Amino acid sequence: MSDYDDNSNLILLCANDHKLIDDFPETFTYELLVNLKENHEKWVENAIEKDLQDYIRNVNNAEVLDEIKNHVQLDIIIKNAHFYFFDSSSITDTNLSIEVSEFFDNLRDLSDIYSDIEIADKTRYLIEHEKHIKKFNEVGIRFFGKDLIREYKFLNNPKDNYKVAMIVAFNPKVNPDSIQNGKLTVKLPDNFSPTI
């Protein structure tokens, strides 16, 4: 077997678990061991990713945003948002910048009437926004976003947690290294303050 010592064929175990697996091969089949290894690797990857994102957020005042590719992602981000943070500062073309701003205005308007419209109408509006994103993609603009929970003191209300819909329209030509694995890392302004 040429890949006997290959990483894909190895599993690290303590002495007790190693003996247990060797003593009960009918229970611990090859398929089960491969499944256990894959699940553990995914768990480790997710734990590291979460810790890395927490570190980036806390130390650098930055956020890691997922690329928005469909209306379901848009729905999750803007549904029940109290505040909005839209950014298109990487777009230098004036007309394109205005189009993106109008798109953001329409998204905010949709979010404002969410609870007042039927589910079918909401879905139609979201699919229409997805089509706009695809048109922007055709000219090189990509959209990234996430819903944040931030603590704010708002008017005369005490400090509380509020949902912020954060969406960035990004031109990858400006800084292609900012996008890794379909995610955009953005540094938030020191005076980060979303709008209502």
Structure confidence at residue 140 as a pLDDT band (50, 70, 90): very high
Question: How confident is residue 151, by pLDDT bands cut at 50, 70 and 90?
Answer: confident
Whole-model pTM: value is 0.68
Task: Please tell me the predicted confidence (pLDDT) of residue 68.
Answer: 96
Pair of tokens at residue 115:
């609870």
Strand partners, 168: 87, 144
Beta bridge partners of 98: none
- Rounded percentage of the chain residues whose pLDDT exceeds 90: 34
Calculate helix-pair angle for 71-78, 94-112, nearest 10 degrees.
60
Which residue carries 């959209």 as its tokens? 143
Give per-residue pLDDT as tens, 2-38.
666 777 778 887 787 778 788 888 877 888 788 777 7
Q: What is the pLDDT of residues 112-139, one digit of tens each?
A: 888 888 989 999 999 999 999 999 999 9
| Beta-strand relationship, 83-87 and 62-67 | unpaired
> Quick one: average pLDDT of 45-57?
55
Q: What is the pLDDT of residue 88?
A: 92
Bridge partners (DSSP) of residue 170 are 142
pLDDT grade for 56, boundaries at 50, 70 and 90:
very low
Paired with 145 in beta bridges are 66, 167
The residues, any chain, with a CB within 8 Å of residue 119's CB and separated by 6 or more, are none
Query: Residue 151's beta-bridge partner residues?
Result: 161
- CA distance linking residue 168 with residue 145, whole number of Å: 6
Token pair for residue 57? 């957020």
Give the pairing type, strands 183-187 and 160-170: unpaired
pLDDT of amino acid 64: 84
Say what the pLDDT of residue 39 is.
75
Beta bridge partners, 184, equal 65, 179
Give the residue from 53, 99, 78 showing the smallest Cα distance to 165.
78
Beta carbons within 8 Å of 60's beta carbon, 6+ residues apart: 187
HSE-CB of 45 using CA atoms within 13 angstroms: 6
Give the DSSP letter of residue 195. Answer: B
Strand residues in the chain grouped as ranges (E): 62-67, 83-87, 142-152, 160-170, 179-180, 183-187
